[in-house]
C-alpha cells in the first residue's frame, strides 16, 4: 500500500458516521440534536450518567467529565484497546463483517458471563509454549542482567516478555458503562505467571517496562483476585526454615537469586483474607523475614504482616536503597 492509499483509507475511517461506529461498539447514544449524549466510552471512566457528547457535525466525541475526546480512530482504539492501524482496519474492513457476523450481543449471553472471570486457559497459553518465547527480547534480557537476576530462574518461573499489547482474554468484556472491549496487557512488558499452592497456573501479571507518566507499572487482567506469588515453594520448605516475605515479583526474583526462599505479596494493598491466612500458617512453622521497602506502602505492609506473624524478623536495607531488588542490583547485599 502506498502512503497515499493509506492516507485515503485513514480519512475514510475518520469520516465514517460516528453514530454507526458507536452502534457497532455497543455504545448507546441519544438520538436527537447536533450533540448526542452517551455514557463515556473510556474503560477507565466509570460513567454512570452520560457525560460524553458526540458532535454529529464534526464527527468527534468529547467527555466533559474525564476529558476523553477524539475521532473515530481514537474511539475505536479506546474501546477495543487496539493499535492505530488495527483501528483503521477495523473501521474499514472488519467493521462491515462485524455488522453481519457478530451483531451487538444482549447483556446476558454465556460469552459475557464467562468474561466476568479470568480466561485462565488463554492466559496460560501466552506463557506455556515457552519455545516461542525462550529468547527474551533484548530489552528484557538487559533489564534482568542489570538487576543481576539468575536467568535459570526466569526459565524456571516461566517468565516471558511481550513487545506488543496482548489481549488478556478471548471473549470481549463488558465495561461498567455497558460497552464491549478487549482488555490488554500493555507492552513492552514482562509477564509473570502466578501459581497456586499446588503449583497450578492461576494468573498472569504484566510488568510494564518504562511506563509513561500516569501509566501504572503492574497490570493484572480485570477480574483478578490473585494475591500471592510462589506459595508452592513455601510449602516445600521443611519446618523451621527461613522464608522471606516481600512485595511484588521483582523483589522476589532478586531474593531468590540471592539464595533466599521467598513468598511475594502481589502488592502492598492486595493482602486478601486467604493470603493472610496462608502467611499466618507459614508463620506457625517457618522463620519469616522481611526487608521492608523504604516507602510508606512498604512500612504499612510490614506493620500488617507483623500483626499476622509477631515473630517476623525485620532487616533494614542499606541506606539509599528503596527495595531489595535495587540493593541486590547494586551489590549491596550478600548472597546466602
What track of x and - describes contact with Zn ion for positions 8 through 47 (by CB under 5 A)?
Answer: --------------------------------x-x--x--
* β-pair partners for 287: 242
**Strand pairing partners for 174?**
180
| Shortest Å distance, C-beta 51 to Zn ion | 5
Instruction: Tell me which of 14, 56, 66, 166 binds Zn ion, using CB under 5 A.
Output: 66
| Residue with smaller CB distance to Zn ion, 27 or 149 | 27
CB of 215 to Zn ion, least distance (A): 18
Stretch that binds Zn ion, among 63-71, 74-82, 170-178, 247-255 (CB under 5 A): 63-71
Specify the stretch interacting with Zn ion by CB under 5 A; choose among 55-63, 107-115, 170-178, 304-312.
55-63
DSSP state of 26: T
Q: Which is nearer to Zn ion, 60 or 217 (CB)?
A: 60
| Positions 67 through 96 that interact with Zn ion (CB under 5 A) | 68
Q: Could you tell me the smallest distance in angstroms from the CB atom of residue 72 to Zn ion?
A: 17
Number of residues that bind Zn ion (CB under 5 A): 7
The answer to whether residue 268 forms part of the interface with Zn ion (CB under 5 A) is no
- State how far the Cα of 31 lies from the Cα of 227, in Å rounded to an integer: 45
Output the nine-digit C-alpha cell for 202: 492461576
- Cα distances (angstroms) measured from residue 90 to each of 57, 97, 161, 331: 22, 9, 27, 50
Considering the complex, state which of residue 179 and residue 289 has its C-beta at the smaller distance from Zn ion.
Answer: 179
CA-based nearest residue to 207, from 195, 215, 219: 219
Q: How far is the CB of 68 from Zn ion (least distance, A)?
A: 5
Give me the least distance between CB of 97 and Zn ion, in Å please: 29
DSSP character string of 80-103: HT--HHHHHHIIIIIHHHHHHHSP
Give the separation between CA 255 and CA 265, rounded to whole angstroms: 13
* Half-sphere exposure of residue 313: CA atoms within 13 angstroms, side-chain side: 8
Is 299 strand, coil or helix? helix
**Shortest distance (Å) from residue 104 CB to Zn ion:** 21
Rg (CA), the chain: 23
Smallest gap from residue 115 Cβ to Zn ion (A): 22
Q: Which of 21, 22, 63, 246 binds Zn ion (CB under 5 A)?
A: 63
Angstrom distance (rounded) from CA 83 to CA 216: 19
Helices and strands (H, E) in the chain, number of each type: 14, 17
Q: What's the CA gap between 251 and 315, in Å, rounded?
A: 14
Identify which of residues 63 and 243 has a Cβ nearer to Zn ion in the complex.
63
Residue 39 or 157 with smaller CB distance to Zn ion: 39
- Residue whose CB is less far from Zn ion, 40 or 243: 40
Binding site for Zn ion (CB under 5 A): 40, 42, 45, 63, 65-66, 68
Amino acid at each position: 500500500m502506498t502512503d497515499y492509499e493509506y492516507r485515503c483509507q485513514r480519512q475514510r475511517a475518520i469520516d465514517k458516521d460516528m453514530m454507526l461506529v458507536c452502534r457497532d461498539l455497543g455504545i448507546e447514544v441519544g438520538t436527537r440534536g447536533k450533540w448526542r449524549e452517551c455514557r463515556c466510552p473510556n474503560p477507565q471512566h466509570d460513567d454512570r450518567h452520560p457525560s460524553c457528547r458526540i458532535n454529529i457535525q464534526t464527527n468527534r466525541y468529547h467527555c466533559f467529565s474525564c476529558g476523553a475526546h477524539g475521532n473515530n480512530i481514537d474511539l475505536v482504539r479506546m474501546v477495543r484497546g487496539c493499535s492505530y492501524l488495527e483501528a483503521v482496519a477495523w473501521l474499514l474492513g472488519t467493521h462491515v463483517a462485524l455488522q453481519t457476523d457478530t451483531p451487538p450481543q444482549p447483556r446476558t449471553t454465556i460469552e459475557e458471563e464467562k468474561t466476568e472471570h479470568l480466561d485462565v486457559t488463554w492466559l496460560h497459553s501466552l506463557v506455556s509454549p515457552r519455545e516461542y518465547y525462550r529468547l527474551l527480547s533484548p530489552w528484557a534480557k538487559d533489564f534482568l542482567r542489570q538487576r543481576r537476576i539468575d536467568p535459570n530462574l526466569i526459565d524456571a518461573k516461566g517468565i516471558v516478555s511481550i513487545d506488543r499489547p496482548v489481549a488478556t482474554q478471548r471473549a470481549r468484556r463488558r465495561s461498567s458503562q455497558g460497552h464491549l472491549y478487549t482488555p490488554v496487557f500493555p507492552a513492552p512488558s514482562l509477564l509473570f505467571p502466578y501459581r497456586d499452592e499446588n503449583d497450578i497456573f492461576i494468573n498472569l501479571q504484566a510488568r510494564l517496562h518504562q511506563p509513561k507518566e500516569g501509566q501504572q507499572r503492574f497490570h493484572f487482567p480485570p477480574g483478578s483476585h490473585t494475591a500471592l506469588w510462589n506459595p508452592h515453594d513455601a510449602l516445600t520448605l521443611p519446618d523451621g526454615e527461613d522464608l522471606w516475605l516481600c512485595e511484588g515479583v521483582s523483589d522476589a526474583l532478586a531474593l531468590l537469586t540471592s539464595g533466599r526462599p521467598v513468598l511475594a505479596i502481589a502488592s502492598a494493598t492486595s493482602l486478601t483474607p486467604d493470603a493472610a491466612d496462608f502467611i499466618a500458617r507459614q508463620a506457625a512453622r517457618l522463620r519469616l523475614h522481611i526487608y521492608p521497602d523504604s516507602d510508606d506502602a512498604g512500612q504499612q505492609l510490614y506493620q500488617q504482616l507483623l500483626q499476622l506473624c509477631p515473630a517476623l524478623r525485620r532487616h533494614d536495607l542499606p541506606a539509599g536503597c528503596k527495595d531489595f531488588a535495587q540493593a541486590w542490583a547494586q551489590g549491596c547485599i550478600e548472597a546466602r
